[in-house]
Amino acid sequence: MIVIDLFALPGEGTDNIYFWVDPTRTILTGKVNIGAFRTYAEGYKAENEMIDYQAISLNKTQDFGVHYKKYYPLEASFFKSSLDKRLLEHLWNRYCVSTLSTSALLKNADYITGQINHVVNKLEQAKRHLGRISFRPLLEQDRKQDDILAKAAKDSTETAIEVINSFMSQLIKQSLFN
């Protein structure tokens, strides 16, 4: 699949394929964060019981409405044409000073706080799951609990890496220009 251009879609769209570029994460990581997902066909039941896990905030999943728990990610990549390259060079030259003088940590403080809250919510969800009494075999419960904790650990690691990269970028800017 090749995506030539991107534009906003309505939240209640009837199409079943969606693409997005996350501008906040793009700025924070310094590389384009592009994603795509597709909804399952009506009536299809995913084989994976852990379909309720998403690497997005819990409050954001409510925005997906009827398609919550009914989509899967698609592989997404991008390329630059020669015109794109010239345009990006022009934009870089134009906004170079502002890029070097701003801090991604300060600019994206709300985003980082949201990511940390997302991890906290996942850990609370795991804690609630641990407290449930069930008649399922104990090994199955342990495996499911380990999955939830592993995914929360993965999210916290990704958030920590983004913060460390932003912090290192700021340190490099300070050492070069101060």
52-85 residue pLDDT tens: 454 555 555 555 555 566 767 777 777 778 888 8
Q: Please tell me the pTM assigned to this model.
A: 0.50
Q: How confident is the model at residue 51 (pLDDT cuts 50, 70, 90)?
A: very low
For residue 165, the enclosing domain spans 85-177
pLDDT at 49: 46
Residue 86 has pLDDT above 50, yes or no: yes
Question: Is 55 inside a domain boundary?
Answer: no
Domain count, the chain: 1
Point out the least confidently predicted range of 100-109, 136-145, 150-159: 136-145
pLDDT at 128: 81
Residue 159 has pLDDT above 50, yes or no: yes
CB neighbours of residue 161 within 10 Å: 11
What distance in Å separates the CA atoms of residue 119 and residue 158, rounded to the nearest whole number? Answer: 10
- According to DSSP, the residues that pair with 21 across neighbouring strands are 34
What is the SS3 assignment for 12-46?
CCCCCEEEEECHHHHHHHCCCCEEEEEECCCCCCC
What distance in Å separates the CA atoms of residue 85 and residue 82, rounded to the nearest whole number? Answer: 5
177: its two tokens = 């220009």
Q: How confident is the model at residue 157 (pLDDT cuts 50, 70, 90)?
A: very high
Question: Is 168 inside a domain boundary?
Answer: yes
Contact 144, 152 (CB under 8 A): no
As a whole number, mean pLDDT of residues 151-163 equals 90
Question: Is 2 inside a domain boundary?
Answer: no
Question: Is 167 inside a domain boundary?
Answer: yes
Question: Is 97 inside a domain boundary?
Answer: yes
Question: Is 50 inside a domain boundary?
Answer: no
Question: Is 45 inside a domain boundary?
Answer: no
Question: Is 124 inside a domain boundary?
Answer: yes
Angle at 146 between CA 140 and CA 152, to 5 degrees: 140
Residues contacting 160, CB < 8 A, separation 6+ = none
**Reduced DSSP (H G I as helix, E B as strand, rest coil) percent helix, strand, coil of the chain, to 5:** 60, 10, 30
9: its two tokens = 């879609």
